[in-house]
Chains A and B, each alone.
Chain A
Amino acid sequence: MRLCIVGIGGCGGHLAERFLQNQDVPILNRSLGEHVSFGGVKGLWLEADVQETQNQRFFGSLDRGCYPGFFIPHDIIGDKSKTHRIINQCYGYDLKKQGFMRQAEFLKAVFEIFETDQELRSEASSEYPEYPSKNPILEASWDRIRPYTTLSDQKDNDGESKMCDGILFIVSLGGGTGTGFVNPITRYIRGKYGAYPVFVMGVLTEEGVDPQQRAKEPKRALGAAISLYDLMTKNVVESVDGVILVDNQIMVERFGQDYSAIDDFIHQAMRPFVAGRHYPGEDPPSLAMREKFIEGLNRPPILVPCYWREKRRKDPEDELVKLALTKGRLFGCDPEKADRAYVFTRGFIDHEEIVSAIASYSGIPAERIEPWRKLGENGWDEILILLRNPYGKERGRDVKGTLEQRIHRMIGMAIKYMDDIESNLVKDGMPDRTKRALEDYFYGEDGIRKRFEEALLKIENGERPFFLEERNIFERAIRESHPQQTQETGRKVDEDEVRKIVEAEVSRALAERGFGAGGDPKRTLQEG
């Protein structure tokens, strides 16, 4: 497995920087040869705020041939662009806006406009013939990511530099750019390459007021909830193959407001996931990892990382697992509710011992624990356990340190923000069609507020998943403009997609009945 790390927005950029650090020692800030990253990862940074890119020295402009590089997606839209003008005049959105200040719905709306407005699409494709698909911003972004992947035309010449067979997007949940951009871009990639592995690591911003930008928690919570909702409600054919959640509140309690130390720690915790130096025969391609992550599911799983590291000693397995599951959780959860565990170790770790330790501390059946081991650093043993969907306990939201409690709080805050008259989510100056769409999206009968309330109930009852149906901002506009199409199918789906959905459903049904790799039918049924 070799991942392409794509940091989106401020938080994503800082974390991507950790992953992409050159392992070589630069001389006068230069490296004679190729940039060598830990685990052979490659990647880039997507950012909306030009000033942010100017306030750092690690990433250079990709368009000037720098590596590691940044790319500002909306830069391809010129100031006098007709596409820009249409979106501004007809919908009230400024495509060239520098940063999105905790407004997940901003980018969501912009990308939906490209999907729904055929006139705009044809205007954009005639204005930007180099990007003939429906959205030049997404296509331009993908053009910058693709060269680092196995989907590119670049081939491995020297036998050493290998392309990435999967993508890990890193975003904050509750920020602006990452929160809003991650869904459109992952959906775009999936639309083009349905089977290419795409994972997301989302860092949920901390409770209280953000000390850097003074953004209040309810506002950030709404962005995070919208983003997570969009990630979790698509089926696995359209969405990502796993959402790795990290809670910045846990990080802040541990490191204070030292965000640099937090980034270093998150990177350290994820190193066993991206590291090379595998045990012989234990280097699965990203595609195999994807299949494992989504096995028996039709929606992307939540993966909670639990990490621990200790000085090397004899028989470390039991202690490592115990400490990772108790003190090393990067997001609140109940390990006993997890239906699977994916384990990445560094050091000399015994396969059987690690499986039995995880089974005994979490109750997950041994056949549902998948360890991948790697050689470690001198004198250290490390473990990263990704627990799949470790939630679903009745009244779990009343228990401190559970995923239910944290997500319940986030959704509750989001509703609070939506109800706050000062939030002004539907601004007066917006064109009528946008106001109507936003009103409908936020407060309509089947609007997001209603769905959030339903999600709260599900969490309280210990049901999973808690987010169910996808909701678009311009849904009503689509329905009104294409009534026949939506009455019949809801949206256009091609044969290949139908086949994949049917396959996923069949394998889930088989797994529930104890056939194939499924295993414990009771647990699969709990997933709902």
Chain B
Amino acid sequence: MTSLFLNGVFGVSLFLLLLAGGVALHLLNMERTYRRVAATSKVKVDDEGEPKANGGKISKDKLKEEIMEEMFTRQGSNFNAAAVAAWMLLFAAFAYFYFLTPEIFPRHNYFQVSFLASGPLGFAAFGLLVLLFSLVAAAFVPRKIYGYYELSKSMKVAVMFAVPLLAVSIFLSVQQGTIYPEVDLGSRSFAFLALFASEAALLWPVYADALGGMK
């Protein structure tokens, strides 16, 4: 089990696979919604033509645009703020877990960047850099992804709960960096579980919709 936590290839692949799966399923969910609405619509969908309101026809793109517009639901400021924070922390926690200490990727880690590793605020600067990069990606997630799903309160709570969970994961990874070259397997394992549980919680609305859609 410990080797699983320390297996970098497995971990990074799993992380990216879950992310890629989420993106793919989100696109699939949108496409499925469009297809189902088109199939049950009163208006005929014209593959090429422009929308013709009077003739009861509508172009594919126009219908898609209208569906997306109608699907959008406001989820609330608390949730949106927490979701953006959670996604930023997810990337930060991922970076801290796999790329802070050399025991997972000996040639690709924080200690290889000498000006950071030797600086008094190195850990923080490393984290802030990752947060800065991930801000762009995280900022559009609530509007471009969660906004299109009808999220239950429990789903929202799970997404919001990812924030403290990821903070714990980051804290434990920082601890690893502090005690390096020693390794605390217990906290490593917990950091791993917190990281992946959070990723699952953040992506769950998309996966759940895809599962529901398959039925």
Residues of A within 8 A of B (CB): 22-27, 31-34, 36, 40, 160, 276-281, 283, 311-313, 348-352, 373, 375-379
**Contact code string B75-117 (vs A, CB < 8 Å = 1, else 0):** 1111111100000000000000000000000000000000000
**A348 to B157 CA separation, bound complex (whole angstroms):** 27
**A352 to B208 CA separation, bound complex (whole angstroms):** 30
Contact between A312 and B215, CB atoms less than 8 A apart: yes
In the assembled complex, which residues on chain B have CB atoms less than 8 Å from the CB atom of A277?
A: 70-71, 73, 150
Contact between B79 and A24, CB atoms less than 8 A apart: yes
**A31 to B81 CA separation, bound complex (whole angstroms):** 11
**A33 to B70 CA separation, bound complex (whole angstroms):** 22
Contact between B76 and A349, CB atoms less than 8 A apart: no
Asked if B67 lies at the interface with its beta carbon under 8 angstroms from chain A, I say yes
**A311 to B214 CA separation, bound complex (whole angstroms):** 12
* Given contact pairs A25-B153, A348-B36, A348-B40, A276 touches B76 in the complex (Cβ within 8 A): no
Contact between A25 and B73, CB atoms less than 8 A apart: no
- Which single residue of chain B is at the shortest CB-CB distance from A350? B40
Q: Which B residues between 148 and 193 are near A, CB-CB below 8 angstroms?
A: 149-150, 153, 156-157, 160
Asked if B37 lies at the interface with its beta carbon under 8 angstroms from chain A, I say yes
Q: How far is the CB of A473 from chain B (nearest CB, A)?
A: 46
Give 10 A-B pairs besides A25-B79, A281-B43, A281-B66 with Cβ atoms closer than 8 angstroms: A31-B78, A33-B76, A277-B73, A278-B70, A311-B215, A348-B37, A351-B40, A351-B42, A375-B67, A377-B150
**In this complex, which of A283, A376, A379 has the most chain B Cβ atoms within 10 angstroms of its Cβ?**
A379
Asked if B134 lies at the interface with its beta carbon under 8 angstroms from chain A, I say no
* Given contact pairs A25-B160, A280-B37, A280-B67, A379 touches B212 in the complex (Cβ within 8 A): yes
In the assembled complex, which residues on chain B have CB atoms less than 8 Å from the CB atom of A22?
A: 76
Q: Find A280's partner among B41, B78, B160 (CB 8 Å cutoff).
A: B41
- Which single residue of chain B is at the shortest CB-CB distance from A312? B215
Chain B: residues with Cβ within 8 Å of the partner, total of: 35
In the assembled complex, which residues on chain A have CB atoms less than 8 Å from the CB atom of B37?
A: 279-280, 348, 375
> Can you sample 20 A-B contacts with CB below 8 Å?
A22-B76, A23-B75, A25-B153, A31-B78, A36-B76, A160-B74, A277-B70, A281-B43, A283-B70, A311-B215, A312-B212, A312-B215, A313-B215, A348-B39, A348-B40, A350-B40, A351-B41, A373-B40, A375-B71, A378-B208
Q: How far is the CB of A40 from chain B (nearest CB, A)?
A: 8
- Which single residue of chain A is at the shortest CB-CB distance from B64? A280
**A280 to B76 CA separation, bound complex (whole angstroms):** 24
- Closest 7 CB pairs between A and B? A24-B76, A33-B77, A379-B212, A280-B66, A348-B36, A378-B212, A32-B77
In the assembled complex, which residues on chain B have CB atoms less than 8 Å from the CB atom of A278?
A: 70
**A373 to B70 CA separation, bound complex (whole angstroms):** 12
Q: Find A27's partner among B42, B58, B74, B78 (CB 8 Å cutoff).
A: B78
Asked if B200 lies at the interface with its beta carbon under 8 angstroms from chain A, I say no
* Given contact pairs A36-B75, A280-B63, A280-B70, A378 touches B150 in the complex (Cβ within 8 A): yes
- Which single residue of chain A is at the shortest CB-CB distance from B72? A277
Contact between B77 and A34, CB atoms less than 8 A apart: yes
- Which single residue of chain B is at the shortest CB-CB distance from A348? B36
**A213 to B150 CA separation, bound complex (whole angstroms):** 39
In the assembled complex, which residues on chain A have CB atoms less than 8 Å from the CB atom of B63?
A: 280
Contact between B40 and A349, CB atoms less than 8 A apart: yes
**A22 to B149 CA separation, bound complex (whole angstroms):** 16
**Contact code string B35-75 (vs A, CB < 8 Å = 1, else 0):** 01101111100000000000000100001001100110111
Contact between B77 and A25, CB atoms less than 8 A apart: no
In the assembled complex, which residues on chain B have CB atoms less than 8 Å from the CB atom of A160?
A: 74
**A281 to B52 CA separation, bound complex (whole angstroms):** 13
- Which single residue of chain A is at the shortest CB-CB distance from B159? A25
Q: Find B78's partner among A33, A281, A283, A349 (CB 8 Å cutoff).
A: A33
**In this complex, which of A22, A279, A378, A379 has the most chain B Cβ atoms within 10 angstroms of its Cβ?**
A378
**A463 to B121 CA separation, bound complex (whole angstroms):** 85
Contact between B33 and A375, CB atoms less than 8 A apart: yes
- Which single residue of chain B is at the shortest CB-CB distance from A376? B150
In the assembled complex, which residues on chain B have CB atoms less than 8 Å from the CB atom of A25?
A: 76, 78-79, 82, 153, 156-157, 160
Q: Which B residues between 128 and 156 are near A, CB-CB below 8 angstroms?
A: 149-150, 153, 156
**A349 to B39 CA separation, bound complex (whole angstroms):** 9
**A205 to B58 CA separation, bound complex (whole angstroms):** 48
Q: How far is the CB of B215 from chain A (nearest CB, A)?
A: 6
In the assembled complex, which residues on chain A have CB atoms less than 8 Å from the CB atom of B40?
A: 348-351, 373
